[in-house]
């Protein structure tokens, strides 16, 4: 954090990251000013419903002139005070107004002293930088996100990277704060899927954030005043609300009661009873706000399909999709609807043409749109039927897919017809739960061959030698622009390993494409770097290319050395091995060398009389080695030491020859 800038800086702990001390003239309630009296100021505003609710709940109110000023920037101090008030901590804050503290406060602090002190106590602010805080300065979206996250320790994220288009503009120390408020649907992106971390936060946006805190159960400062239940009846100016089965209350309606449905102000008579609703009571125990949550008879309809269009008409967005049954479906989008992609809320503009989505409709409006998680299937077409497609993956496994009516087919990036598909075409299919949605037909060369790599030559003119299933070897020249794929990802030609089973595509006898067929029988050689023998056994090896790969072990995996069977726990990390794979599982581990290798581990026992040493390796297994008569032992600084100098708990690296230690180096003591 640079001098004089309390809002940025690496290496700060959670509370330090928020030297952020924010809040603006968060005005106290104005006596005698009813929420509905503010309608002239924010009536018709996009956040009218949230402003009316948060005002009725007496959490956020207007200015002395009777206006709310929804588009005015929120100050840093206002942001802090409003969060603490929403969390029910206002009395604690006020009690600290005259408290003595051993750190300096901002020089231009004219109100809210107790809020700042409480924010420090709650870990929202860092007292060391409080003197740099400017209480009346506008709060940014980044600062509000951080304050909200720090005020709510229970707010968590799943660690997934941010998907905003401007994610790189979010400082790394703040990324998790933004992820927390995003994934818990407290803050969403702006048009263009931007988070806009440095844009100022408005009073309207704060009203929406606070109502989301209430809706999500993160806060409820007025449990006796803000009620959720089912409105059962309306008789004159009396409303009957069922809180839970067998428990009802009767409340009078305030003259200026605000009634909202789907973000719009309506008359209470417009609601079809019974209806689920949020009800806010004023200080006289009268209903001053009602927010419709859904009729008791409302059913949710779910459609899956391809986006045809998204347009704005009559003050609302409308979405048209072509569903799996080839029906065109169009509905307006509720103002509070969520658009989700990989579990994260994204901007409505992300709904581009041809995107595949699931749409939830209730009350004749779209309540939620979710991008379908698509699986990519690459392979060769083996059978084409009117509504079914069979694709043989490069692994040899066949996948049968149901073809939806609005399937999109392209060839070389241009639109094509499903009827254009032929057997032996190579395709990339985007699928969802067994349905083929997008099919890209690839243009291939004329010949393909398969086999196990027995030799690779990447010097001069490249060559690759493979052995087919009949045991016949063949060498092929390789084009220097060859495309090489493993697990669907492109790799370099030099990254291929001996023993891998591959499919070669030939053009005039030259290899132009290589794909590793992981699900075929093949062998891999390398050095064991990790071994997990727990519930899901795995082995990790460093291959000849230098890359590491982890493989699942078959339940009956065979371990052999010099034709003698061993147990898994007898494998030393650092051993040279050959793995035999069938499908994606290792069925045999052949130990090629575990005596002339380098091993690492923690010393657990030193036998000075017999010149032996026991180490525990990272996978938990212990091994004992004898020191050669001329073994060289060195400490962390490279100085020569004796066996007697070694201590249990030290980390060491051992070089073995014929199974004996010839060199020992202490790596950590």
pLDDT tens digit string along 433-454?
889 999 998 765 457 888 888 8
Contacts (Cβ under 8 Å, ≥6 apart) of 653: 598, 599, 600, 664, 665, 667
CA 126-128-133 angle, to 5 degrees, is: 70
Residue 6 pLDDT > 50, yes or no? no
Burial of 276-309, coded b for 16+ CB within 10 Å and e otherwise, reads bbbbbbbeeebbbbbbbbbbeeeeeeebbbbbee
The pLDDT of residue 37 is: 42
The pLDDT of residue 379 is: 84
Residue 4 pLDDT > 50, yes or no? no
pLDDT grade for 3, boundaries at 50, 70 and 90: very low
Local structure of 420: helix, strand or coil: helix
- Report the range out of 285-289, 378-382, 457-461 with the highest average pLDDT: 285-289
pLDDT tens digit string along 361-420?
865 678 889 999 999 998 888 889 888 999 987 666 788 999 887 888 998 778 888 888
Span 649-662, average pLDDT: 95
Span 220-229, average pLDDT: 85
For β-strands 287-295 and 301-313, DSSP reports them as unpaired
CA distance 132 to 109: 11
Span of 25-39, 250-264, 520-534 with lowest mean pLDDT: 25-39
The pLDDT of residue 251 is: 94
Span 103-113, average pLDDT: 88
Backbone φ, ψ for residue 69 (5° rounding):
55, 65
Span 308-325, average pLDDT: 79
CA distance 2 to 18: 13
For the chain, the first-to-last Cα distance in angstroms comes to 34
Contacts (Cβ under 8 Å, ≥6 apart) of 124: 15, 18, 20, 21, 80, 83, 147, 150, 151
Which residue reads 């006020």 in tokens?
94
Question: Which residue from 121, 124, 59, 76 is spatially nearest to 95, judged by alpha carbons?
Answer: 121
Around Cβ 215, how many Cβ atoms within 10 Å?
Answer: 19
Q: Decide if 405 contacts 326 (C-beta within 8 A).
A: yes
CA distance 382 to 429: 14
- Structure-block tokens of residue 262: 């789907």
pLDDT grade for 94, boundaries at 50, 70 and 90: very high
């Amino acid at each position: 954090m640079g001098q004089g800038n309390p809002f940025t800086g690496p290496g700060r702990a959670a509370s330090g990251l928020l030297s952020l001390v924010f809040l603006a003239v968060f005005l106290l309630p104005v006596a005698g000013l009813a929420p509905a009296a503010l309608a002239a100021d924010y009536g018709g505003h996009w956040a009218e419903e949230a402003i009316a609710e948060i005002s009725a709940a007496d959490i956020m109110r207007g200015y002395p002139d009777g206006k709310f000023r929804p588009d005015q920037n929120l100050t840093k101090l206002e942001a802090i005070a409003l969060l603490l008030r929403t969390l029910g901590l206002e009395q604690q804050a006020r009690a600290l107004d005259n408290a003595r503290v051993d750190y300096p406060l901002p020089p231009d602090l004219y109100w809210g002293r107790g809020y700042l002190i409480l924010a420090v106590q709650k870990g929202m602010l860092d007292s060391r930088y409080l003197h740099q805080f400017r209480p009346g300065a506008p709060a940014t979206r980044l600062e509000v996100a951080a304050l909200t996250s720090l005020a709510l320790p229970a707010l968590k994220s799943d660690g997934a990277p941010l998907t905003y288009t401007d994610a790189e503009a979010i400082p790394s120390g703040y990324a998790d704060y933004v992820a927390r408020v995003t994934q818990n649907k407290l803050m969403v992106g702006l048009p263009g899927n931007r988070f806009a971390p440095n844009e100022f936060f408005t009073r309207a946006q704060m009203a929406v954030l606070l109502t989301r805190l209430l809706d999500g159960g993160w806060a409820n400062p007025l449990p006796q005043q803000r009620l959720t239940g089912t409105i059962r009846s309306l008789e004159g100016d009396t409303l009957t609300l069922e809180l839970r089965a067998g428990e009802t209350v009767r409340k009078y309606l305030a003259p200026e009661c605000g009634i909202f449905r789907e973000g719009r102000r309506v008359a209470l008579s417009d609601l079809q009873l019974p209806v689920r609703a949020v009800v806010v009571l004023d200080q006289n125990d009268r209903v001053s706000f009602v927010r419709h949550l859904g009729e008791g008879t409302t059913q949710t309809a779910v459609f899956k399909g391809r986006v045809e269009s998204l347009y704005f008409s009559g003050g609302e967005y409308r979405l048209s999709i072509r569903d799996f049954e080839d029906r065109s479906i169009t509905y307006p989008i509720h103002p509070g609807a969520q658009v989700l992609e990989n579990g994260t809320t994204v901007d409505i503009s992300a709904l581009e043409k041809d995107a595949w989505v699931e749409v939830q409709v209730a009350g004749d409006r779209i309540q939620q749109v979710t991008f379908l998680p698509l699986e990519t299937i690459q392979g060769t077409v083996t059978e084409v039927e009117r509504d079914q497609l069979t694709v043989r993956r490069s692994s040899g496994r066949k996948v049968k897919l149901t073809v939806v009516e609005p399937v999109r087919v392209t060839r070389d990036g241009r639109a094509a017809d499903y009827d254009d598909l032929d057997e032996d075409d190579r395709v990339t299919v985007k699928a969802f739960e067994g349905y083929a949605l997008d099919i890209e037909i690839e243009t291939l060369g004329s010949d393909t061959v398969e086999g196990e790599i027995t030799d690779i030559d990447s010097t001069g003119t490249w060559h690759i030698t493979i052995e087919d299933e009949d045991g016949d070897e063949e060498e092929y020249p390789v084009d220097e622009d060859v495309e090489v794929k493993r697990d669907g990802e492109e790799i370099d030609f030099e990254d291929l390993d001996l023993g891998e089973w591959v499919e070669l595509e030939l053009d005039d006898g030259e290899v132009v494409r290589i794909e590793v067929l992981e699900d075929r029988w093949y062998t891999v050689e390398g050095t064991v770097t990790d071994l997990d023998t727990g519930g899901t056994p795995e082995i990790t090896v460093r291959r000849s290319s230098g890359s590491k790969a982890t493989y699942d072990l078959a339940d009956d995996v065979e371990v052999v050395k010099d034709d003698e069977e061993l147990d898994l726990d007898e494998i030393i990390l650092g051993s040279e091995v050959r793995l035999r794979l069938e499908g994606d599982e290792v069925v045999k581990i052949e130990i090629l060398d575990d005596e002339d290798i380098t091993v690492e581990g923690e010393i657990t026992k030193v036998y000075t009389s017999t010149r032996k040493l026991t180490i525990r390796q990272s996978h938990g297994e212990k091994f004992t080695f004898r020191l050669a008569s001329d073994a060289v032992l060195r400490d962390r600084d490279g100085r020569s030491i004796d066996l007697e100098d070694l201590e249990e708990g030290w980390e060491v690296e051992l070089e073995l020859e014929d199974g004996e230690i010839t060199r020992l180096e202490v790596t950590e003591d």
